[in-house]
Amino acid sequence: MSNAALIAATLIAIDWGTTNRRGYLLGKGGEILDRREDDLGIAAAGAAGFGATFGTFTAPWREAADIALPVLMSGMIGSRQGWVEAPYALCPARAEDIAAQIMPLPGIDSTWIVPGICLNGDRRDVMRGEEVQIFGALDLASLTSATLCLPGTHSKWARVEDGRLVDFATAMTGEVYQVMRTHSILGALMEGNAGHESDAFRRGLDAAAAAGGLLHHLFSVRADGLFGVTRADEQASYLSGLLIGHELRDLGGTFRATDEPVLLVGAAGLTRIYEEALDHLALPFRTIEGHAATVRGLFAVWAANPLARLAG
Amino acid sequence: MSNAALIAATLIAIDWGTTNRRGYLLGKGGEILDRREDDLGIAAAGAAGFGATFGTFTAPWREAADIALPVLMSGMIGSRQGWVEAPYALCPARAEDIAAQIMPLPGIDSTWIVPGICLNGDRRDVMRGEEVQIFGALDLASLTSATLCLPGTHSKWARVEDGRLVDFATAMTGEVYQVMRTHSILGALMEGNAGHESDAFRRGLDAAAAAGGLLHHLFSVRADGLFGVTRADEQASYLSGLLIGHELRDLGGTFRATDEPVLLVGAAGLTRIYEEALDHLALPFRTIEGHAATVRGLFAVWAANPLARLAG
């Protein structure tokens, strides 16, 4: 990191999740000047003391800079299990609405946490961290309206209209895969883990379209295994395809109003699986790398906040 | 047990499951003359030795009888993990078809295992033990055509036309409840277990009808909990209602061709939950006690077998 980088620096953006944290030193245009990453997610950091680990993580940037560099954080750090709980902003919401509700960290200079977003109407839902990715991904894609899919343990689908997040929904796809793989009778007969470049994965995607519902389709993992239609080493892939197929049909169907491509946002390992699935279902998509979306989103939220203008 | 009972006895029927076994001494009309039950299901009996525990279980009846009383067994005893694997009979099947395929136990006098039934066409599925309950329940209900629901860890739905089992499907309702309750993030926030006489159970049943699919609905357990809509001590009931609601809508819809009542077959503790659910969804039903259906079914299969005529 050069002195020039520190002079150009305008924000420290931190994506602080459950199992690790990623920090970025950002310039006036949101460009990444420096970065650091470790495995002190909220679980490990909580044990070590949030304040102390935060100090160590940001010190190289904050102590070297001439100005009191502001820090903006998103993710599980703002959850009940995190450092300080940042209340949810209400959906519908723009980046500006979130920006206006960033929460200062008591006792820590110029440091804020981005609130999550909640739905609390006929239907209730929550996200924390994905809101930043959503606005960042739109920015990177130069879009103001889109349907977004953020795959994961708890996948998120979201609809943004004219820069306003108007609706979203969570699907427990990744977690259901994990508990069925690890703890159900289906897992007991499986060998190995899921791969998405396989016939079994695609057969799972197709099976999701049949009658009978997911609770019935799950049993086909076992029944097809008994009859040798799906080998033991194919069953994890089939199960993965089945669950992703259900998610895409149920939530893709609900959230895609038009034929526009789905904005797929996530880490490459995960988006590749969903790309395969979307391709197989002939759903158009465009992929935005997840970490880039987070960085861009944190910068956008910061830029939309009046404090940024004071600081800048 | 009197001498008269032994003189009237015509069959020993055994329902030998995973965790326990139930034996019945049946008379010429299928009436129960005597019964015994223990917890030597196939898991425990396998360790003790099937032959020895079978001998102990049947000796009081077989040794006291004048004739070599035949024994007919159903359930997991005929599975790969059981004593001897009894191959599946192919669906569609009548009681007579199953009767013709009962499998003699090598080395054990006059003792047979009822085969399970499989579907192996466009769709594959299996049952083992439920086939006997299905034919028994129809007999007890004096019906030759019906849609049946046998709730459980792996619920079965079946369609019988003119005495012929023509189609069936398994839903992993009970097992998905169990793994989500025990191993998912949903379970971590729950207190207590499911009760069906509650608003939360009925709200779960209703939630199953919404858009978004089961993977999304599962997350509502958590989101509704966060907003206090479902208390921690109500969440297990809500989850139970949600899963049963999906099963009833998805498979009830597929299997009920007419407005005739669903024949609900199972142990009282389980059928009461499904009765509540069917009532709430305004689906007509009629309940047949599961053990009675098994006994009746084993007798019916025996009576339909040519060996019964030789023995009788």
- State yes or no: pLDDT of A30 exceeds 70: yes
B214-226 and A214-226 are packed helices; what angle lies between their axes, rounded to 10 degrees?
Answer: 130
Please check whether residue A139 lies inside any domain of the structure: no
Measured between beta carbons, which residues in chain B are less than 8 angstroms from residue A180? 176, 179
Judgement on whether residues A123 and A202 belong to the same structural domain of the protein:
no
Q: What percent of chain B has pLDDT over 90?
A: 83
Rounded to two decimals, the pTM is 0.94
**Does residue A242 lie in a domain region?**
yes
- B87: preceding bond cis by omega (within 30 degrees): no
Q: Which two tokens stand for residue A68?
A: 């009191």
A195 and A217: one domain? Answer: yes
Per DSSP (E only), the strands in chain B are 9-16, 21-27, 32-38, 71-74, 89-90, 93-94, 103-104, 111-113, 117-120, 124-127, 146-150, 155-161, 164-171, 262-266, 285-289
Three-class secondary structure of residue A155 per DSSP: strand
Q: Do B126 and A211 touch (CB under 8 A)?
A: no
Statement: residue A72 has pLDDT above 50: yes
Interfacial A residues in 76-105 facing B (CB < 8 Å)? none
What integer pLDDT is reported at residue A305 of this predicted model? 84
What's CA A208's distance to the chain center, in Å?
24
Do residues A274 and A301 share a domain? no
Can you give the pLDDT at residue B310?
60
pLDDT for A128-146, tens place per residue?
999 999 999 999 999 999 9
pLDDT band at residue B312 using 50, 70 and 90 as cut-offs: very low
Q: Find the residue in A nearest to B174 (Cα).
A: A215
The size of the A-B interface in CB pairs under 8 A is 136
CA distance A188 to chain B (A): 13
Same domain, residue pair A282 and A206: yes
Burial annotation A260-269 (CB, 10 A radius, 16+ → b, else e):
ebbbbbbeee
Q: Which residues of A touch B125 (CB under 8 A)?
A: 219-220, 223
Q: What CATH number does the domain containing A110 carry?
A: 3.30.420.300
Q: Which helix (H) or strand (E) holds A156?
A: strand A155-161
Question: CATH number for the domain including A259?
Answer: 3.30.420.310
Which chain A residues have a beta carbon less than 8 Å from that of B216? 169-172, 247, 250-251
Q: Percent of chain A, pLDDT > 70?
A: 96
**Using H for helix, E for strand and C for coil, what is the string for B132-174?**
HHHHHHHHHCCCCCEEEEECCCCEEEEEEECCEEEEEEEECHH
Domain identity same for A59 and A77: yes
> Do A206 and A274 belong to one domain?
yes
Report the domain count for chain A. Answer: 2
Q: Which domain holds residue A203?
A: 171-290
Q: What are phi and psi of B269, to 5 degrees?
A: -60, -35
**In what helix (H) or strand (E) does residue A113 lie, and over which residues does it extend?**
strand A111-113
**Structure token pair of residue B270:** 């389980």
